[in-house]
Amino acid sequence: MKNGQSDNSAAVKKEPKELAGESVVSGWGHGKAYFIGRTIQQQDATIEAAISREEVGSEIIRFNEIRDNARKDYQKLIQDLDRESTVDASILNIYENILDDPAFIGQVVETISVKLFNLETSIRTVSNDFIKRFESSGTSYFKERSSDMVEVCEKLVSYLSSESGRAKTFAEPVVLVVLRTFTPTDILSYDRSKIRAVITMSGGKTSHAAILARSYNIPVISGVRNISDHIKPGDEVLVDSDKGNVFVHPEAYVVERYLKQTHGETIYKELKAKWSRPVYTRDGVRIEVLANLSLTEDANEAVENGADGIGLVRTEYLLSNRKEMPTEEAHLAYYEAILSKGAGKHCTIRLMDIGGDKIPQFFDMPQEFNPFMGWRAIRIFLERKDIFETQVAAILKAGKGYDYSIMVPMVTTLQEWIEAKAFIREIASKLEMPMPKCGVLFEVPLAILEMGTFMKEIDFASIGTNDLIQYLSAADRNNSKVNYLYNPVEPAFLRIIRNSIKVANDNGKPLSICGEMAGHPLHTVLLVGLGLRRFSVMPRSIPLIKEIISNISFAEAAESISHIDVIESMDDMLAWLKNLNARLLGDLMKRIPYIETGI
């Protein structure tokens, strides 16, 4: 049986199976299983293919030839992606850098020359060594960079096979099953119009492959164990990446649920067309719904989804796959691209949140037992003002003629903020440019509990609920052992949010919420009732949030949550919130797509 083709010899009904994994790119997909790839780590269990001393020279020549072939392939892919104008093709540049990396080249040549391994074995051995070092680094950034090494290794090895030409088209929709780390060319080498989903052994949410899949709206599930024991080529597979489920030979009710979700996509498109305009509550209160973004192409998606502005630009993307800190020119090009695509609407640019799980490979970070509470963001900037100045200068220059502001993350004390703002003013004065509006991202408990002391010194505020909940509950939301404690409807947390919104409103300072809480439709009525007038969410959430807001009375929502203090448990709060939504919105929540996951 060939790869991707079903075996029709058995007429018996196949038993349905349900597998679990981790959602990397959300969505649903339904098709026939098509297998690609094998893990580099399998090389450990094989016997290295030896060559004679006389074959060393020809293997090295062939290595240089296939590197050249791979480089040309990547350059063509970059050109093709540039023409599509939907994906930032620069994410493929890292592969050219690896192909030309002296360390990689030298180790492959040495393995061929000294160990007398053939070319494929040498490439896999060296690649595996790099991957082990990346994965033992202890940071998610380096672990996800191991997928870049897998990509280059598999690309090079494909030229050595007699079947190096991958199938480009499919006769019917497929679910790609990747028996190794998921890489970009797993999508780019095939007919993307027929790829409905991807199931992979490993691959993170910020990997290059995930970024590409997200751009093409292809759902991805990672971490499915023993894939080939449960799925065979040609099997019918349905992927629900919103919940991290894979259904093999799905039962009728599962397929029906998928078709309903497909109908939800039609509703989403209708809402997207409807909400290109501003939104008001039923009693005439304007609520802004802004976009969070990282990539330059996200700005296009934000405009297409009706964003009233850009509430958060996560500039850490600039650090990805660089061998040194980005230059002012690199910063400038990035901000200019985003601002120019923003349709003239306001844009809030967050300074780089270096540290935690976002540690650049070139940055000399101290060894820390708890990096999320260590040297991070503003704490680095105030010590390394050279980094601070490069980024701020580029933002000021790019912002000329645009409506923009600067937001500083991880501020803990008022003194930190005053020092940071003074330095921004100093840079603006040096460049003879006006001082931009500057605000604080409140995500540290000490700062948000003392928000009132910041009011005279800031132009606006934002609440980063993701980190704030983690710090308040001492619970990592990515840790399955404790993430039950990570819940935005915890009564004590909601009281902090309500007080923060009140402090900002009383002082006439705009406040937004930019964490995942703001993007979940279940929380929209609650947040409006608490007085929030500025949401900042993923672009795809914008039409859904606007539709809910248009059906809310601001005064009624405020009155409805006035007795929130009497609710003591999280379960009671969740039950009350669902009843509140049903009372104020009727059956609207049932008609809003993706309501179970909040996207």
The CATH code of the domain that includes 92 is 1.10.274.10
Joined together, the tokens standing for residue 506 give 């009383």
38 has pLDDT over 90: no
Q: Are 593 and 261 in contact (CB under 8 A)?
A: yes
Q: Are 207 and 147 in contact (CB under 8 A)?
A: yes
Q: Which of 192, 225, 260 is the last residue of a domain?
A: 260
Q: How confident is the model at residue 10 (pLDDT cuts 50, 70, 90)?
A: very low
564: Cα within 13 Å, side-chain hemisphere: 26
308 has pLDDT over 70: yes
Would you say residue 68 lies in a domain? Answer: yes
Q: Choose between 309 and 516: higher pLDDT.
A: 309
Per residue in 168-209, pLDDT (tens digit) is 678 889 999 988 878 887 888 788 889 999 999 877 776 778
Q: What is the pLDDT of residue 523?
A: 94
Q: How confident is the model at residue 28 (pLDDT cuts 50, 70, 90)?
A: confident
Give the other-Cβ count within 10 Å of 88's Cβ.
21
Would you say residue 272 lies in a domain? Answer: no
76 has pLDDT over 60: yes
Q: What is the pLDDT of residue 599?
A: 33
List 153, 347, 438, 514, catalytic entry: 514
Residue numbers of the domain that contains 34: 17-39+167-260
Same structural domain for residues 142 and 197? no
483 has pLDDT over 80: no
Mean pLDDT computed over 310-331: 83
Least Cα distance to 25 among 205, 269, 295 occurs for: 205
Mean pLDDT computed over 98-102: 88
Q: What is the pLDDT of residue 158?
A: 80
Would you say residue 476 lies in a domain? Answer: yes
282 has pLDDT over 50: yes
Mean pLDDT computed over 526-533: 97
Query: Of the ranges 72-86, 388-402, 493-507, which one carries the lowest mean pLDDT score?
Result: 72-86
Q: How confident is the model at residue 549 (pLDDT cuts 50, 70, 90)?
A: very high
Distance separating alpha carbons of residues 282 and 555, to the nearest angstrom: 9
Q: Which of 158, 175, 194 is the last residue of a domain?
A: 158
Mean pLDDT computed over 122-133: 87
Distance separating alpha carbons of residues 553 and 560, to the nearest angstrom: 10
Same structural domain for residues 104 and 237? no
334 has pLDDT over 60: yes
List 208, 331, 520, 523, catalytic entry: 208
Would you say residue 274 lies in a domain? Answer: no
Q: Which of 260, 289, 307 is the last residue of a domain?
A: 260
423 has pLDDT over 90: yes
Q: What is the pLDDT of residue 109?
A: 95
Same structural domain for residues 144 and 178? no
Q: What is the pLDDT of residue 487?
A: 85
Distance separating alpha carbons of residues 186 and 201, to the nearest angstrom: 13
Distance separating alpha carbons of residues 409 and 231, to the nearest angstrom: 44
Backbone angles phi and psi of 512, in degrees to 5: -120, 160
For residue 50, give the 3-state DSSP assignment. strand
Q: How confident is the model at residue 8 (pLDDT cuts 50, 70, 90)?
A: very low
Q: What is the pLDDT of residue 39?
A: 46
Report H helices in 311-369. 328-341
Would you say residue 49 lies in a domain? Answer: no
Would you say residue 209 lies in a domain? Answer: yes
Same structural domain for residues 101 and 177? no
302 has pLDDT over 80: yes
CATH number assigned to the domain comprising residue 31: 3.50.30.10
- Concatenated DSSP letters for 373-438? GSS-THHHHTT-HHHHHHHHHHHHHHTTTS-EEEEE-S--SHHHHHHHHHHHHHHHHHTT-PPPEE
Joined together, the tokens standing for residue 265 give 């996509």
Task: Based on the residue annotation, tell me whether 523 is a catalytic residue of this protein.
Answer: no
Where are the extended beta strands (E) located within 294-435? 310-314, 347-350, 404-408
Mean pLDDT computed over 290-299: 88
Mean pLDDT computed over 502-524: 94
Query: Of the ranges 138-152, 204-218, 452-466, 566-580, which one carries the lowest mean pLDDT score?
Result: 138-152
293 has pLDDT over 80: yes
Same structural domain for residues 309 and 418? yes
Q: How confident is the model at residue 88 (pLDDT cuts 50, 70, 90)?
A: low
Same structural domain for residues 398 and 466? yes
Q: Are 1 and 32 in contact (CB under 8 A)?
A: no
Same structural domain for residues 254 and 340? no
CA angle 156/161/163 to nearest 5° reads: 120
Mean pLDDT computed over 127-139: 75
Rg (CA), the chain: 26
Per the listing, tokens 């790829």 go with 195
Q: What is the pLDDT of residue 87?
A: 57
Q: Is 54 exposed, middle or buried, given 0-12, 13-18 or 19+ CB atoms closer than 10 A?
A: exposed
Q: Are 535 and 512 in contact (CB under 8 A)?
A: yes
Mean pLDDT computed over 571-588: 92
Mean pLDDT computed over 28-51: 68
CATH number assigned to the domain comprising residue 431: 3.20.20.60
Q: How confident is the model at residue 447 (pLDDT cuts 50, 70, 90)?
A: very high
Same structural domain for residues 208 and 333? no
Task: Based on the residue annotation, tell me whether 514 is a catalytic residue of this protein.
Answer: yes
Q: What is the pLDDT of residue 45?
A: 40
Q: What is the pLDDT of residue 56?
A: 93
For residue 312, give the 3-state DSSP assignment. strand
Q: How confident is the model at residue 42 (pLDDT cuts 50, 70, 90)?
A: very low
Distance separating alpha carbons of residues 523 and 595, to the nearest angstrom: 11
Would you say residue 346 lies in a domain? Answer: yes
Same structural domain for residues 187 and 220? yes
Number of domains composing the chain: 3
Same structural domain for residues 148 and 182? no
366 has pLDDT over 80: no
Q: Which residues, in sequence order, are CB contacts of 48 under 8 Å at separation 6+?
A: 115, 117, 118, 121, 125
426: left (phi over 0), alpha (psi -120 to 50) or beta: alpha
Same structural domain for residues 97 and 207? no
Query: Of the ranges 24-38, 269-283, 414-428, which one carries the lowest mean pLDDT score?
Result: 24-38
Q: How confident is the model at residue 597 (pLDDT cuts 50, 70, 90)?
A: very low
Same structural domain for residues 356 and 240? no
Would you say residue 369 lies in a domain? Answer: yes
The rounded mean pLDDT for the chain is 84
Q: Are 518 and 535 in contact (CB under 8 A)?
A: yes
Mean pLDDT computed over 67-96: 74
Q: What is the pLDDT of residue 429?
A: 97
Q: Choose between 531 and 362: higher pLDDT.
A: 531
